[in-house]
């Protein structure tokens, strides 16, 4: 005998352990009293589901599950955090690039400068500059920098000795 179609879903839901609305549960109970087809379906569904129900996990299974979770959850969290960090960095880089483009478009541009034109050199000027550069143009400056500064005359030196030592050292 087949169950009534309007109660078939309620029978399966209750057999699977779902809570029914109080009105639906009362209507199903009242219907099961008078309908042998639905009563047989209810009994068959409860027996079938009791055969496939898993037993409660043992303490060893709980411990193994806890160890697996402790091992895999931090790794999964680190992986997800790395993805989030990469996305944040990518968005920050994109925002910086957008800001640079916006500044480039908004900022006023400096006028283009033309090359400053110098008058042509008189004939022979280039040769004169080369001759000067090939000589030792800084010799006088270096010599002045390396000559020791003359100390102030003291009472121990007479003016002639002072001049001979400090003012005319090579004569």
pLDDT score at 112: 64
State phi, psi for 5 to the nearest 5 degrees: -60, -35
pLDDT score at 153: 56
For 87-102, the pLDDT digits (tens) are 888 888 999 999 999 9
Which tokens sit at 41?
């379906």
Is the pLDDT reported for residue 71 higher than 60?
yes
- Domain regions of the chain by residue span: 5-52, 58-90
Q: Structure pTM? A: 0.33
Residue bearing tokens 């047989």: 40
Which tokens sit at 34?
């008078």
pLDDT band at 129 (very low <50, low <70, confident <90, very high): confident
Closest alpha carbon to 152 in 162, 164, 143, 161:
162
Residues 42/11, Cβ–Cβ less than 8 Å: yes
Give the separation between CA 34 and CA 39, rounded to whole angstroms: 9
pLDDT score at 104: 87
- Sequence-ordered strand ranges (E) for the chain: none
Give the separation between CA 34 and CA 42, rounded to whole angstroms: 13
For 26-70, the pLDDT digits (tens) are 999 999 999 999 999 999 998 988 888 777 888 998 889 888 888
Is the pLDDT reported for residue 169 higher than 90?
no
Q: How many CB atoms lie within 10 A of CB 41?
A: 21
Give the separation between CA 23 and CA 55, rounded to whole angstroms: 32
């Amino acid at each position: 005998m087949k169950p009534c179609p309007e109660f078939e879903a309620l029978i399966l839901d209750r057999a699977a352990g779902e809570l029914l609305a109080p009105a639906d549960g009362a209507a199903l109970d009242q219907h099961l009293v008078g309908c042998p087809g639905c009563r047989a379906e209810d009994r068959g569904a409860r027996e079938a589901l009791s055969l496939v129900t898993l037993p409660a996990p043992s303490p060893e299974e709980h411990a193994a599950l806890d160890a697996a979770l402790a091992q895999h959850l931090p790794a999964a969290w680190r992986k997800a955090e790395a993805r989030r960090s990469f996305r944040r960095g990518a968005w920050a880089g994109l925002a910086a690039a957008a800001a640079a483009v916006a500044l480039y478009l908004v900022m006023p541009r400096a006028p283009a400068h033309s090359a400053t034109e110098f008058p042509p050199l008189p004939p022979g000027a280039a040769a004169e500059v080369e001759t000067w550069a090939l000589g030792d143009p800084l010799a006088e400056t270096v010599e002045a920098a390396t000559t020791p500064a003359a100390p102030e005359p003291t009472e121990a030196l007479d003016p002639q000795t002072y001049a001979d030592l400090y003012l005319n050292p090579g004569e």
